[in-house]
Amino acid sequence: MLSPRLSLSRHGPSFSRIVAGMWRLADWNLSLAERIRLIEQCIELGVTTFDHADIYGDYQCQQLFGAALQQAPALKQQIQLVSKCGIKLTSSHRLEHRIKHYDTSAAHILASTERTLAELQVETLDLLLIHRPDPLMDYDEMARAFETLRAAGKVRHFGVSNFTPLQFEALNSRIELVTNQVEFSPLQLSALQDGQFDTLQRHGVAPMIWSALGGGLLFRHNDTSPLQAVLAQLAAQYGSSVASLVYAWIMQLPCRPLPLTGSGRIEVIRDAVAACSLSLERQDWYRILQAACGHEVA
Ligand code: NAP
């Protein structure tokens, strides 16, 4: 049985082991009351950490979430908020962007964070991530921007997302990072193979995992997939759903990953929480890895 909360690093924040991802919030077409109810149901399940980014839902998701917090302000004391910056989309909401690009300048990090706080209707973010590595990123400048935000009481902790191990090391040597949020699932194994998880384990830093269910691809009907067959077989053996099995498989890694959910359906979030009580026998864990790789792994 995994603890329902986890400290991301030695001095890092304490987050719920399962984090609710809000990327698709605008697609769920929830009324204000339904958004409040979803947040409440997550909290009832122990899922108290919510993952955002300035760009989600074409810059609209944070406002949708913030409207719920404004309507039910008592929720603010019960949750932890993560957001990201560093990507600039072309959008009717950002007419000044002529091309989709990265911006990790201090000016953009500070401006994006101010806007995020206003949209989410909070004074402080628990964690701010640089969304993706930027070829023009200046690690000293980024670290200074982080220090400025911390000193102003606007952000408590900092991290990165989709950084290579070397990029993580470069920024972490200047300011303490508490996570690298990366893609990982049986359909995307790179972090296990390119030193990402080893680097994070070396630093005692827990990764956050996006698209843990392959963005839904794991469920796309495909009778011929050996991976889907193995997952279905093992789910039946453990008496769990396929989603729970996959979340449990991920959380069994010793780098202590925190999976992000991607669904607005509370039953999927419940499946993720159920995975905290599911421990796979070592050989079954390897059956999933072997099916994911398509060949023997030892
Ligand atoms: P995911 O859980 O892999 O994918 C979610 C999709 O899977 C949804 O379309 C969902 O459909 C479907 N799904 C989930 N359970 C299912 C089931 N049991 N049966 C059938 N379909 C199922 O996660 P994700 O949305 O790709 O990513 C999760 C979070 O990670 C995002 O919300 C965001 O916060 C974060 N993220 C971060 C980055 C980054 O670069 N840092 C990138 C992408 C995402 P339904 O909606 O119908 O349930």
Q: Is 59 in the active site?
A: no
137 assigned to some structural domain: yes
Domain that holds residue 124: 5-217+256-277
The predicted model gives 64-89 an average pLDDT of 98
pLDDT tens for each residue of 245-284: 999 999 999 999 999 999 999 999 999 999 999 999 999 9
Mutate to test the pocket of ligand 1, among 246, 258, 260, 267 (most ligand atoms within 8 A of CB): 260
Is the pLDDT at 132 greater than 90? The verdict is yes
Task: Evaluate whether residue 222 is within a structural domain.
Answer: no
- pTM, two decimals, is 0.98
Q: Which atom of ligand 1 is nearest to the CA of 219?
A: 20
Answer whether residue 288 is part of any domain: no
CATH number at residue 43: 3.20.20.100
Kindly report the average pLDDT of the chain as a whole number.
Answer: 97
pLDDT at 222: 72
Please tell me the total count of domains within the chain: 1
Q: Is residue 240 part of a domain?
A: no
On the question of pLDDT at 92 being above 80, the answer is: yes
CB under 6 Å to ligand 1: residues? 21-24, 51, 131, 161-162, 181, 210-216, 219, 243, 260-265, 268
221 band by pLDDT with thresholds 50, 70 and 90: confident
Mean pLDDT value across residues 181-192: 98
Band the pLDDT of 224: cuts 50, 70, 90.
Answer: low
Domain-located, residue 115: yes
Domain assignment of residue 232, yes or no: no
How would DSSP label each residue in the chain?
Answer: ---SEEESSTTPPEEESSEEE-TTGGGG---HHHHHHHHHHHHHTT--EEE--TTHHHHTHHHHHHHHHHHSGGGGGG-EEEEEE-EE--BTTBTT--S-EE---HHHHHHHHHHHHHHHT-S-EEEEEE-S--TT--HHHHHHHHHHHHHTTSEEEEEEES--HHHHHHHHTTS----EEEE-BTTB-HHHHSSHHHHHHHHT-PPEEESTTGGGGGGS--TT-HHHHHHHHHHHHHT--HHHHHHHHHHTSTT--EEEE--S-HHHHHHHHHGGG----HHHHHHHHHHHHTS---
Please give the number of the atom of ligand 1 that sits closest to the Cα of 132.
40
Whether residue 171 lies inside any domain: the answer is: yes
Distance 271 CA to ligand 1 centre (A): 13
